[in-house]
Amino acid sequence: MSRSYPPEYRRRVLDLLEAGKSVTEVAAGLEVTAQTIYNWWNQHLIDTGRKSGITTTESSELIAARRRIIELETELAATRRANELLKSVVSPKCDTRPSR
């Protein structure tokens, strides 16, 4: 199971790397694996424009958009199903007003 770290903690780790410490030094001094630090560093490079990829902001927006799409698709499926059920129960309207 992955562990979540606060943004301030990540920022301090990245500051240590930018100050010239190696990933192994930082990982040894903190309770973070080297792979996690490499992941944070790669994402930092993307976020600062030094490497191509999806930024943290774009990733968050994509996740929110995907959740919304799933929600809307669920609502649409329910609406379509309700429409089918109503069609099978209710006969089409016929004109009941007398003609003139």
Token pair for 7? 């943004």
* 90 domain residue, yes or no: no
* 93 domain residue, yes or no: no
* 89 domain residue, yes or no: no
Q: Domain total for the chain?
A: 1
What is the CATH classification number for the domain harbouring 16? 1.10.10
Residue 74 pLDDT level (bands cut at 50, 70, 90): very high
Residue 48 structural domain: 7-80
* 95 domain residue, yes or no: no
* 56 domain residue, yes or no: yes
Token pair for 34? 């080297």
* 85 domain residue, yes or no: no
Residues 20-63 pLDDT 10s: 999 999 999 998 999 999 999 999 999 999 999 999 999 999 99
* 99 domain residue, yes or no: no
Other Cβ atoms within 10 Å of 23 Cβ, number: 19
The number of residues making up the chain comes to 100
